[in-house]
A and B are shown apart, each in its own frame.
Chain A
Amino acid sequence: MQIKIHRSVLEKNENQAEINRELFKKHRTLAVNVMGSPGCGKTTLIESLIKTLGEKYRIGVIEGDYAGTVDAEKLAAYGIPVVQLDVSSCHLNADFVATGLRDMPLDRVDILFIENVGNLICPAEFDIGDLLKMVLYSVPEGDDKPLKYPLMFSLADAVVVTKTDLLPHFQFDISKVKESIARLNSKFQLFKFSSKDSESIRPIAGFLEKEFRRLVGGSPEL
Chain B
Amino acid sequence: MHELSVTQSLIDLILEEVEQRSIKSVKKVGISVGVFTTFEPYAINFYFETLKTEYPPLTDTVLEIELKPGVCRCQECGKDFEVKETVSNLPQCPHCGSIFVEIKEGREFLINYLEV
Contact status B38-A184, CB under 8 Å: no
Contact status A9-B2, CB under 8 Å: no
Cα distance A89–B5 in the bound complex, in angstroms: 9
Which residues of B have CB within 8 Å of A154?
103
Which residues of B have CB within 8 Å of A2?
113-115
Cα distance A120–B87 in the bound complex, in angstroms: 14
Return the contact of A9 from the options B1, B101, B110, B115 (Cβ within 8 A): B110
Cα distance A93–B31 in the bound complex, in angstroms: 22
**For residues 17 through 45 of chain B, which have their beta carbon under 8 Å from a beta carbon of chain A?**
17, 21, 31, 36-39
Cα distance A3–B113 in the bound complex, in angstroms: 5
Return the contact of B110 from the options A7, A119, A183 (Cβ within 8 A): A7
Does B55 sit within 8 A of A, measured CB to CB? no
Chain A binding surface, main DSSP class: mixed
The distance from the CB of B80 to the nearest CB of chain A, in whole angstroms, is: 15
Q: Mark A145-181, 1 if CB is under 8 A from B, else 0.
A: 0011011001000000000000000000000000000
Does A121 sit within 8 A of B, measured CB to CB? yes
Cα distance A11–B17 in the bound complex, in angstroms: 14
Q: Mark A23-57, 1 if CB is under 8 A from B, else 0.
A: 00000000000000000000000000000000000
Contact status B38-A183, CB under 8 Å: no
The distance from the CB of A111 to the nearest CB of chain B, in whole angstroms, is: 28
The distance from the CB of A161 to the nearest CB of chain B, in whole angstroms, is: 20
Cα distance A194–B51 in the bound complex, in angstroms: 46
The distance from the CB of B81 to the nearest CB of chain A, in whole angstroms, is: 14
| A residues with CB within 8 A of B | 1-13, 89-91, 93, 119, 121-122, 124-126, 147-148, 150-151, 154, 182-186
